[in-house]
Amino acid sequence: MYQQTTNKILALIFISAFFISCDFTPRLHKKILEAQEYIKQQKYHKAIGQYKIILKNNPPSDIKVKIFYQMGELFSTNLGKNRQALIYFREIKELTESPLWLVKAEERIGEISFTYLKDYILSERSYKLLVNFTPRLEKYDFYQFRLAQTYLKKNNYNKAFNELSKIQKLKSHTYYVSSFYQLGLLNFQKKNWEEAIKIWKEYLRRETKKENLIQSKFLMANAYETMGKLKQAYNLYYSILGDYPNTDVVKNRLNSIYNRRVSRKR
């Protein structure tokens, strides 16, 4: 229910901007209002059908761009059909040279590819374009951090390390603290357990969000366990027992370590 309400609000915000900024003929005006009414009623397929009819009549380019964006949002946010959504966001890139719409479309392509499709080749392409955009964009810090995450997801450790190192040189960077977690994760994935733990200790000194602290401690405990440092692993797992989202996982790790320690003493 909450998600439906949120989607409806977002749709209404878009509708208002869409209506104010366009100069419609009466016939076009009527058809767009009908599509918008379908969105308000959460009849998303009917709204898409109406937009397709409008597009067949070859409206002005500025209106096409906004329709393509809205259709992309409908397919992604409202219908969960992300591959179809990409088609419409790409159409925007072919149709306009407006920096505003090019950036908005690339942002959505990047987010969909990274978060939903797990297509890191595609997300790398998007975030590289956004990072290299001139003049530097307001959300540059986010794009740079997401590019580093993309490299890490692709197991491209050298490029991930280089990007995270750039972030760590700037304490004012929005993702300065988060870069420590990602560097720890990079070393964890490379099985550099000691280095991962060392970096995560630095992260724990800076991070304030409880859920992030818990996740880091869980991974640190996992690293200690893998290295055979069972006492340190046990203590860390035990410290998050009441807070980790999946209590059974932590309990199983504690039981496993306990049995290993008992076996060592025999």
Residue 66 has what pLDDT?
Answer: 95
Query: Are 65 and 96 contacting, i.e. CB atoms less than 8 angstroms apart?
Result: yes
- Neighbouring residues of 102: CB distance < 8 A, sequence distance ≥ 6: 92, 93, 96
Residues 6+ apart with CB under 8 A from 136: none
Q: Which residues of the chain have pLDDT under 50?
A: 1-5, 7-8, 11-12, 15-16, 19-20
**pLDDT tens digits, 169-185:** 999 999 999 999 999 99
Retrieve residue 185's tokens.
């994760």
Is the C-alpha dihedral spanning 57, 60, 64, 67 positive or negative? negative
d(CA 77, CA 42): 12
Specify the pLDDT at position 16: 47
